[in-house]
Chain A
Amino acid sequence: MTATTTSGHRSAGQIGRTEAGPRPLPPLATFLGAPVPDVVDATVSSGLRVLAVRRPTVPMVELRLRVPFADSDPAHTAQAELLSSAMLTGTHCRSRVELDNELATVGADLGVGVDPERLGVYGSALADGLPTMLDVLADVLTSAAYPPAEVDRERERLVERITVTRAQPRVIAREALQRRRYGDHPISREIPTGAEVEAVTQEQLRALHAGAVVPAGSTLVLVGDLDPEAVIGQVEQALQGWSADHPATELDQPPLVRGDDLLLVHRPGAVQSQLRLSAAAMPRSDERYPAFQLANMVLGGYFSSRLVENLREDKGYTYSAYSAVEFMRNSGSLLVEADTATDVTAAALWEMRYELGRLGLVPPTTDEVDSARRYAIGSLLISLDSQAGLAGTLSALTSAGLDVEWLRRHPERLAAVTTEEVAAVAAEFFAPTAFTGVVVADVDVTGERLRALGGVVGPESS
């Protein structure tokens, strides 16, 4: 034992030193890649594409159904949102409670969600409850009834929930950012207003379900303790009543994000500000995407990145700073964000812009690229190591037009990226002038300093 201070414990300095001194970092053992499991990929007669994977680690099955669900009518957002809230409230043969009871009996859950691009049905069940879950799913897809009393109640609840959601600073920032970067394109309409929801009728829901919840163009992913060949037939049989004479509707490609001033959004009394910057990225299918992925990671795509090391670990301006690619079907956008205390908002924006400029001017070093590459490959492996992780990844890739071969070969593509390729992508796509965005803040306190930096307009009142 080292000496103790008079207070009975060692000092901080004593704690941080041992007699033996610093030790060398152990080397990594040989990296063993993990095989991506085989996927049975079939399209059944209704046009529904079914992906099935056997992964019997636990006696469960994960289910992901994605239905392209776009519509350019501004009234669609509210109808789609209420449809997703009311879809599981009754069919022609089961009530809301009966649906839930039947699912619970086999340890199953089903949920429905919607966004401007698609409707998703997500579920899991004990493995031997898969037939029950498919039976309930088929019932909902073919005969969801939208009972008037249930629709009335879900409409009230949705209006209340929207009120609560819109009080969240991150939602205020998200809505402002969507408008700023996509204008009136339907991709920007993520949350309807309460008044729009009030106007939705039961008839509209039934019509929307009949016209847009259709199998052709949709994808069902099943992963778990199952026989993948047999499960295709089971799905075909269970969902045979789900059909339509037209395919599901894909969203028109949103406009590419263009550089512009940041819009200030005033939020009186806010103790923290939201910085949200965005630029054009690329879809995963682009041949430069692996280089783009690594450039983004070096900037802010993981903890050991320039943004986190600067804004958080050096300056203490934020709890979390990051950058990420948001993928749409055939395109992508880059999002760079941080929440910072009101009094350091302008300073944090300055550092963010500095790091964007530096990524192109002082490009990622070989060490930075190698670290990002190992993380990209390792975290992919980790994310696929569960039924739910694999199901979610396959579902997302399929809707982007990619398949399991893309996944299998992605580590090789990452391994082949050169430092020069990362530098080229960094200079082209991450330049500060490529970005637009919003700052939600108490502009009475922060506005003067933000304007002094330039490149901001507004405010627009929240």
Chain B
Amino acid sequence: MSTALTKAPTPELHRFTLPNGLRVLLAPDRASPVVGVAVHVDVGFRSEPVGRTGFAHLFEHLMFQGSESLEKLAHFRHVQGSGGTFNGSTHQDYTDYFEVLPTAALERALFLEADRLRAPRLTEENLRNQIDVVKEEIRLNVLNRPYGGFPWILLPPVLYDTFPNAHNGYGDFTDLEQASLEDAAAFFDTYYAPGNALVTVAGDFETDDALAMVDKHFGDIPARPTPIRPSFAEPPPPGERRHTEPDALAPLPALALGYRVADPTADLDSYLAQTLLASTLADGEASRLQQRLVHGDGIVTDISASCGLLGPLDARDPDTFTITAMHPPEVAADQVLTAIDEELGRLATDGPDAAELARHTARWSSAFYGEQDRLMHRMLALGSRELLYGRAELAAELPQRLAAVKPEQVAAAAAAAHEGGRAVLVIEPSADNKAEAQQ
């Protein structure tokens, strides 16, 4: 197995910056029969204004509603009518837009992305339509189901104090309904400047051809001032903060723990040690918390741990380490917490053993290779890591960097969690209460 770790494919990468400030990342791979284009914009839901929760995500929807050269619906039709697939997503610190298509459609994809980055068609009618669509999305994923928004919407307000880190990135209905065209124009002009975005092209193309096409379509977007990115730093909580949330649809209690993680830009090795801590705790039947809480004590139905609120290496500082568990009503939340704390304490004192750590590293290597093998995932990982950390190469480096993490670094990560402040979110089934008011 050690041989596989040393033969990580190193992607061929080329970087350029157009005169208008737009960054370009080209990752040619001539073995692939398809091509992908992604635009990553350096704004996420942490940057949306007070009183406009959910606006970054709503604006992502608006970017699919047409642009100067494209009527409403034309973007979807041109991508799919070229044999391609598309999507977009809004994260803490970035928003991405992407398509994967047969190679023949590369120039068309660049045209489509450039047209909306230059001149999106922002209309009152489309804004109202997409507010309705986003409200349906929130009903589907949050309001009409048990454990909606657990933990990504419900945990941050317990762990964080400041609006950017604590608020609901999907948005409150009242805020969404008040969103105006004026808000959309201001948001676009401020954050969607070419100097605040990155275009990634991956797959089957010649570098010179692709660069010429990028320049042809994006090159004449006028430069605009690039916003100064604020720091979202805030001190970690000094002790434990607890919040109980009733859930009328949930049949079983659940809980989530939130801890702060190391800044992946400033201290990647500590961050990776926390990534391995998450695996050591809860990845696989042999992990510490699964053995102890699921099988040994038999007090939780399922348990998981994750470094990063929306996944590993997906945000800048600050970000959240989560442990989530679902348990039967006869088991008290404190019983689960005590067992987790004991296991964290054991790891802090003794660390994982070297073979245990090697097993988790091997599973991570597989996961990274899996990500590399699908063009869409490979492209999005390259783009987001380039935008967030200036390091697209991380995709190829991670298996080796994880393999270099030592047991004492994981022990230190466990100690920091064991001793530091944290948030505890308790989901309490409340079926007796009438369901939340109709929206």
Expressed in whole angstroms, the Cα–Cα distance for A36 and B131 within the complex equals 43
B81 within 8 A of A: yes
B356 and chain A: residue at smallest CB distance: A101
Interface residues of A in 367-403 (CB under 8 A from B): 370-371, 374-375, 377-379, 381-382, 385-389
Name which of B27-35, B161-169, B229-237, B409-417 contacts chain A: B27-35
Which chain B positions have C-beta within 8 A of A27?
108
Which chain A positions have C-beta within 8 A of B375?
382, 385-386
Expressed in whole angstroms, the Cα–Cα distance for A31 and B108 within the complex equals 13
B186 within 8 A of A: yes
Contact A7 B186 (CB under 8 A): yes
Which chain B positions have C-beta within 8 A of A129?
1, 4
| Given A16-B121, A381-B83; A339-B136 close (CB under 8 Å) | yes
A contacts with B, residue count (CB < 8 A) = 96
B372 within 8 A of A: yes
| Given A12-B184, A269-B434; A57-B104 close (CB under 8 Å) | no
| Given A126-B4, A128-B1, A164-B251; A100-B72 close (CB under 8 Å) | no
| Given A126-B365, A371-B80, A382-B85; A342-B438 close (CB under 8 Å) | yes
| Min CB–CB distance A412 → chain B (angstroms) | 15
Bin the interface of chain B by size: 35 or more
Contact A17 B68 (CB under 8 A): yes
Interface residues of B in 273-303 (CB under 8 A from A): 284-286, 291, 294-295, 298, 301-302
B439 within 8 A of A: yes
| Min CB–CB distance B363 → chain A (angstroms) | 5
Expressed in whole angstroms, the Cα–Cα distance for A398 and B119 within the complex equals 48
Which chain B positions have C-beta within 8 A of A381?
33-34, 83, 102
| Min CB–CB distance B372 → chain A (angstroms) | 5
B309 within 8 A of A: no
Contact A59 B121 (CB under 8 A): no
Which chain B positions have C-beta within 8 A of A108?
366
| Min CB–CB distance B81 → chain A (angstroms) | 4
Interface residues of A in 155-185 (CB under 8 A from B): 156-157, 160-161, 163-164, 166-169
| Given A15-B189, A316-B128, A374-B81; A124-B222 close (CB under 8 Å) | no
Per-position 1/0 for B100-144, Cβ under 8 A of A: 111111111001000100111111000011111111110110011
B270 within 8 A of A: no
Contact A385 B374 (CB under 8 A): yes
A34 within 8 A of B: yes
Contact B301 A60 (CB under 8 A): no
What DSSP secondary structure best describes chain A's contact surface? mixed
Expressed in whole angstroms, the Cα–Cα distance for A160 and B250 within the complex equals 12
| Given A1-B222, A169-B144, A371-B80; A15-B100 close (CB under 8 Å) | no
Which chain B positions have C-beta within 8 A of A389?
374
Which chain B positions have C-beta within 8 A of A31?
83, 102, 104
Interface residues of B in 357-393 (CB under 8 A from A): 358-360, 362-363, 365-366, 369-370, 372-375
| Given A312-B133, A385-B33; A100-B295 close (CB under 8 Å) | no
B69 and chain A: residue at smallest CB distance: A22
Expressed in whole angstroms, the Cα–Cα distance for A29 and B103 within the complex equals 8
| Min CB–CB distance B213 → chain A (angstroms) | 8
Which chain A positions have C-beta within 8 A of B9?
58
B182 within 8 A of A: yes
Contact A18 B34 (CB under 8 A): no
Interface residues of A in 166-209 (CB under 8 A from B): 166-169
Expressed in whole angstroms, the Cα–Cα distance for A157 and B102 within the complex equals 45
Contact A16 B119 (CB under 8 A): yes
Which chain B positions have C-beta within 8 A of A164?
146, 250-252, 301, 326
B304 within 8 A of A: no
| Min CB–CB distance A191 → chain B (angstroms) | 14
Per-position 1/0 for A16-38, Cβ under 8 A of B: 11101111111111111010000
Interface residues of A in 213-259 (CB under 8 A from B): none
| Contacts A107-B363, A109-B284 supplied; 11 other A-B pairs, CB < 8 Å | A57-B31, A58-B373, A107-B4, A126-B369, A153-B295, A167-B251, A316-B128, A317-B136, A318-B133, A319-B140, A341-B136
Q: Which 9 A-B pairs have the closest CB atoms?
A: A378-B83, A316-B132, A269-B435, A34-B33, A104-B359, A107-B366, A9-B189, A371-B81, A107-B362
